[in-house]
Chains A and B, each alone.
Chain A
């Protein structure tokens, strides 16, 4: 608790501090390469024959995913707090790479916890983290995926709390993480709002993002969320896409809203895949980044309040969308982002041509190429 109180205080102080804000803004522009483009996917749109599909190109952010927005923010916050060392968990490896990058930039030591199953799925990212000077610690407890990496990172943090900052990678965990991570990611939606107004002269009709922990989705949605239905953004339909894995009925998925119930896990009360005794269930998804048993608490709130709709895409649907975007637009998406695309593929054909969809293309798919080849039975 004292560590969380210290972090909360430091975070709110930095939020008000002009020097911190201008350093962050400067790095977002000159280091991450923001604003990322909002790209009209013309061939994809024409091929599907329906609503216009725009892609928010977080895959073009430095390190290849939106994760850097948060990792960099927390890295400079940690340096400001006088911490010498960063730790983080990673699933797909993107957050680990982003944290290792932030640590290199801020001159901090870095250790990344990663489940042994994910290490196999994402070997390329493991090597990238090492190149960036981080140590990757294999976690072979439990399901050997993201949730176990978080457990291990939390254990490390309780042990080394005085010198270490834990860079949690998503809108999850104890307060202030969900708020802080959302704030660092909300740049996505702020940019997208301005960009769509420039391109179309109006706000979009649909926002679609994949939801693992939910940071890219919160980042996109946040600027469009209005508490008053009368607000101009009140009509926008927002859709979060979870990992349907091999199908909800098989039990091998990570669709917390479709298959879970409320629980308390890793410091957060939210929807959770659990059994009747309150033990956390194993999850499955073709994408390591969505393979997680719970979901950010603000998503649970948005779901229960009805403001955001949550659905899921199965492994096969995500893999088809992965190939479709590669072929029609020359963009290889991350398998995580391919879940959001899969939902756009389902929706767009049924919508009139004047409707506008923004899909958050949260990351690029280079890291998944080997994994997809393996699934297709192709030896590289």
Chain B
């Protein structure tokens, strides 16, 4: 069964478009604001939303998202409360929602219980940067059984051909291409290596490829969207969620308009 994420990508690609996938941290600055932000993101043309789940030791994240996670944890945000948040959001939106977290909260929650509760609440998939496909056998099986809950895996500039094959086979919905060797919010280096590596991925895999980590300006988003199926922007948005809504909307629209 095709997932909501897969369906959305199909629609976008059929119309020759590119996906805009913004990231925000759940519960930062607080849960009510997260609900407002989801609406703003959707209004400004997001195709799917990545919702961060705070973790005490966010290895793949740079300072912006680390701070947001710390503050969300101080607000008492947990994996369970993010799942209920999505249940609440579902009364108002059908936009695909992807959780981004680390493996231990999922492990502690229980993989089977997690996939059941998350998919019944309306979560469409999960990205777990510290879980390689080699260690994800049981989670992948549960996702297949669920019919529509995607486990999305990552590729990096250092990924070899074997790695691309393995990740492509395992990844549901799309492949998350990490544009840099590094952490979220780092500076993107705009050379041709991303493009050539993505064309290598395309020669091996027919899954959509979305690019994230380090994209912050509309110019960067525009360049990346020329060869990727989707553009993920995280830290640069998280930095702006405490500012005025007008500025945020303006920024989001400038991203949206540059991704095509």
A residues with a Cβ closer than 8 A to B are 1-3, 141-142, 147-148, 151, 154-155, 158-162, 263-267, 272, 274, 276-280
Contact = CB atoms under 8 A, between A and B. Distances in A.
A155 B183 contact: yes
Contacts of B60: 155, 158
Contacts of B103: 264
A162 B158 contact: yes
Contact residues of A: prevailing secondary structure:
mixed
B80 A277 contact: yes
Contacts of B66: 141
Give me the 4 closest cross-chain CB pairs, A-B, nearest first.
A278-B108, A278-B105, A159-B182, A279-B56
A274 B105 CA distance: 10
A276 B108 contact: yes
Contacts of B106: 278
B126 to A, nearest CB: 14
A158 B108 contact: no
Nearest to B129: A158
B183 A279 contact: no
B181 interface: yes
Contacts of A161: 158, 181
Given A2-B163, A264-B104, A264-B107, A280 B56 contact: yes
B191 to A, nearest CB: 15
A142 B163 contact: no
B159 A266 contact: no
B222 interface: no
Nearest to B160: A2
A219 B70 CA distance: 36
B108 A274 contact: yes
Nearest to A154: B59
Count chain B CB atoms within 10 A of each CB in A158, A267, A280 and give the residue with the most. A158
Contacts of A279: 54-56, 73, 78, 104-105
A278 B181 contact: no
A158 B157 CA distance: 11
A159 B107 CA distance: 27
Contact of A263 (B62, B80, B108, B159): B108
Interface string B77-120: 01110000000000000000000000111111100000000000
Q: Is the interface of B mostly helix, strand, loop or mixed?
A: loop
B130 interface: yes
A160 to B, nearest CB: 7
B165 to A, nearest CB: 13
5 contacts: A2-B163, A154-B59, A277-B78, A279-B104, A279-B105
B130 A267 contact: yes
Nearest to A282: B56
A263 B105 CA distance: 9
A372 to B, nearest CB: 30
Given A159-B183, A266-B59, A2 B104 contact: no
B134 to A, nearest CB: 8
Given A147-B57, A155-B59, A265-B104, A277 B79 contact: yes
Contact of B181 (A160, A264, A277): A160
B186 interface: yes
B83 to A, nearest CB: 12
Interface centre among A3, A277, A279 (most CB of B within 10 A): A277
Contact of B104 (A147, A158, A278): A278
A158 B181 contact: yes
A272 B183 CA distance: 24
B53 to A, nearest CB: 10
A158 B182 contact: yes
Contacts of A159: 180-183, 186
Nearest to B166: A1
A158 B154 CA distance: 13
Given A151-B59, A155-B59, A263-B108, 17 more contacts: A2-B159, A142-B57, A155-B62, A159-B181, A159-B183, A161-B158, A162-B181, A264-B107, A265-B57, A276-B108, A277-B108, A278-B79, A278-B106, A278-B108, A278-B109, A279-B78, A279-B104
Contact of A155 (B56, B132, B182): B182
Contact of A278 (B70, B107, B158, B183): B107
Nearest to B131: A264
Contacts of B107: 263-264, 278
A91 to B, nearest CB: 15
Interface in B33-86: 54-60, 62, 66, 70, 73, 78-80
